[in-house]
Structure 1
Amino acid sequence: MASVSSNWRFHLENNFYLSSSDKERYEKEFNQERQQEILRRTARDLPISTLSAARTIRYCERCQLIKPDRAHHCSACDICVLKMDHHCPWVNNCVGFSNYKFFLLFLLYSLLYCLFVATTVLQCFIKFWTNELSATRAKFHVLFLFFVSTMFFISVLSLFSYHCWLVGKNRTTIESFRAPTFSYGPDGNGFSLGCSKNWRQVFGDEKKYWLLPIFSSLGDGCSFPTRLVGMDPEQASVSNQNEYARSIGSNQPFPVKPLSESKNRLLDSESQWLENGSEESTVRSGL
């Protein structure tokens, strides 16, 4: 069975774990709101931007830690995996932050190998159909090898193409089925920084290492830049308003970030409103 590097568990900083006193209070507390208050107090200084679907702090009861963004608990491995993508039974391992690049390269190498085998055996396959292949015991093996390599090539190609699409969108398999929830609501593109930057998040800045089985992913696996980081306040406000508009149809209004200071001053200025109103009435009278 093939394997992918299993060094996916990076050491979490201690501040993701509750202190002994907070942990004791949390376990003794049966009120969920008070439990959340304990978690919010601990998570206040953590680089966390996502919440659970119920808009609460994501806490793993099994591992007893506050989950970093994009981390999930794997029931098969019984551990929280950073930027968990999925648990792959074919490699008998969890695919996450520190081995996702290796998983993609594993698919690429397998794809090229299947293509090499299929094209190599193709000549013998053609000779079989034209009755040019001598009747030997190897005939069945050659045909079987061609069909198997072709089938695996098609299946691996579909899986590899899907994960390339995920990399371009900066999503995990889990996030493609269930969008992460931010303070303004669910957003499947919340971590997308643009196609080029998304690829560099996985493969790194050094292109010479992209096709080599060397860890070169950016970040520490505990915090990730979001698409709102780097925007000016006006762009961030427009983006959040679009998220709000998309949520109206599902009867789930999400809070929108406040407008930029320049817009607030404009709205608060009574004289500006009066001036604009007089200009508008003048234009209408001219028409």
Structure 2
Amino acid sequence: MYRSGVVMAWNVFKFCTALRGLGSIMILLVLGVVGVTYYAVVLCNYGPALTAGGFDSLVAVLILIVFHALLAMLLWSYFSVVFTDPGGVPPNYRPLIDQERGEMDPLEASESVPLATPDSTHTRIRYCRKCNQLKPPRCHHCSVCGRCVLKMDHHCVWVVNCVGALNYKYFLLFLFYTFLETTVVTAALLPRFIVFFSDEEIPGSPSTLATTFFAFVLNLAFALSVFGFLIMHISLVAANTTTIEAYEKKTTARWRYDLGRKRNFEQVFGTVKSYWFIPAYSDEDLRRMPALQGLEYPTKPDFDTQEF
């Protein structure tokens, strides 16, 4: 029995190590998909159409403008997720006593320990036995990164990083712009794709036609899959929860961090509208919204743990 447990733990460790090694491979894969798409849309189809004149040139200009604008936002958002630390527990972290007094979540109770204070009978905090440190609210340990991550949502192999408090907005924008870009590309290449199954003579070299066909299928697949993923995360933002929390609290009647859709949205995107669609926060929001730093989160004023 002991031996099987050791083998299972070793296999999990091996799996986590393999995920860490995917880093540069996944980034190159993403850039490869972007490169194939760019070649098909710009170099093979709509770039040459610019010299055709008339209505075809106008359509080509519009498609290329939208394509490049969305591509720029997609790449900006993607590399913001990749290179932004999702948030780690600060050294010598100590939680605020008034945030803990009598407000322990049922899904956090199993990993909490008494706090050595004069009123320790009513004050409990969370503790990570892997990192040997205290855990802020909504913080979880990532086995791939080997550390605790603030408001961890999940570890994403596509961005080679954890998605947490400090880069969750950037991840959502990456999904959003990926969906828009792949939808635009699918629509732009659809007429060329239809020609493949018609009796019309198809202009272009075999390599050009093959690239166009492949880019259409690839972008259609990404558009459909990302759409489902985007809808799921929109529902999570609306409820002010994460993927991990949604799974852990599925039997919980109420959620202490659900402040209403508007405030829940602001907990991720901030209050300054001009920053909602770019992977950045205003200095004003960073100063007055502690939730964006990942350590403190407002709760319902009428929340009563005795209901659970």
TM category (shorter chain) comes to: 0.5 to 0.7
Aligned CA distance change for structure 1 residues 202 and 166 (closer, same or farther; 3 Å): same
Tell me the distance in 1 between the aligned counterparts of 2:176 and 2:184: 12
Q: 1:38 matched to which residue of 2?
A: none
Following superposition of structure 1 onto structure 2, how do residues 80-99 of structure 1 map, counting pairs within 5 Å? 80-99=148-167
Residue matched to 2:212: 142
Partner Cα distance (1:225, 1:13) in 2: 23
More helix by percentage: 2
Amino acid at match of 1:72: H
Greater RCO (CA < 8 Å, at least 6 residues apart): 2
Q: 1:83 to 1:133 in 2, by over 3 A?
A: farther
Contact 2:89-2:136 at 8 Å conserved across structures = no
Q: Tell me, yes or no, if the aligned pair for 1:71 and 1:81 is still in contact at 8 Å.
A: yes
Partner of 1:50: 104
The structural deviation recorded for 1:172 is 0.3
Q: Which residue of 2 aligns with 1:284?
A: none
Equivalent positions of 1:116-155 (< 5 A) are: 116-134=184-202, 136-137=205-206, 138-155=208-225
1:133 Cα deviation from its structure 2 partner: 4.2
Q: Distance in 1 between matches of 2:93 and 2:192?
A: 62
- In the TM superposition, residue 71 of structure 1 has moved relative to its aligned partner by 0.1
The letter for the 2-side match of 1:199 is: F
* Cα distance change, pair 159–175 in 1 and its aligned pair in 2 (3 A): same
Alignment of 1:188-227 (within 5 A): 189-215=255-281, 218-219=289-290, 220-227=293-300
Kept in 2: contact 1:97–1:221 (CA 8 A): yes
Aligned residues of 1:114 and 1:149 also touching (Cα < 8 A): yes
CA distance in 2, matches of 1:199, 1:153: 24
**Corresponding position of 2:247:** 177
Query: How far apart are residue 174 of structure 1 and its match?
Result: 0.2
The one-letter code of the counterpart of 2:112 is: T
Secondary structure of the corresponding residue to residue 281 of structure 2: coil
Q: CA deviation at 1:63?
A: 2.1
1:9 CA displacement: 2.2
Residues 111 and 127 in structure 2, CA contact (< 8 A), matched pair in contact too? no
* 2:221 match: secondary structure: helix
Contact 1:6 1:94 in 2 (8 A): no
Q: Which stretch shows the higher mean deviation, 62-71 or 149-158?
A: 62-71
1:68, 1:222 within 8 Å by CA — same for their partners in 2?
A: yes
- Note if contact 2:142-2:149 (Cα within 8 Å) is conserved in structure 1: yes
User: Which stretches in structure 1 are left out of the alignment for 5+ residues?
Assistant: 17-42, 244-253, 255-287
Measure, in 2, the Cα distance between the counterparts of 1:89 and 1:72. Answer: 18
| 8 Å contact from structure 2 (residues 111, 128) kept in 1 | no
Q: Decide whether the 8 Å contact of 2:89 with 2:148 is kept in 1.
A: no
Q: Name the SS of the counterpart of 1:80 in structure 2.
A: strand
Q: Is the 8 A contact 1:98 1:215 kept in 2?
A: no
**Aligned residues of 1:124 and 1:133 also touching (Cα < 8 A):** no
Paired residue type of 1:54: S
Contact 1:101 1:215 in 2 (8 A): no
Q: Check if 1:161 corresponds to 2:231.
A: yes
RMSD, aligned CA? 2.5
CA–CA separation in structure 2 for the residues paired with 1:152 and 1:169: 26
Write the deviation string for residues 33-79 of structure 1: whole angstroms up to 9, x where unpaired.
xxxxxxxxxx6726344353437332112322211110011111111
Determine the C-alpha separation between the residues in 1 that align with 2:189 and 2:261: 37
> Quick one: structure 1 residues 119 and 44, their matched pair in 2 at CA, closer, same or farther if it must change by over 3 Å?
closer
Distance 1:46 1:132 in 2: 73
Residue 115 of structure 2 corresponds to residue 59 of structure 1: no
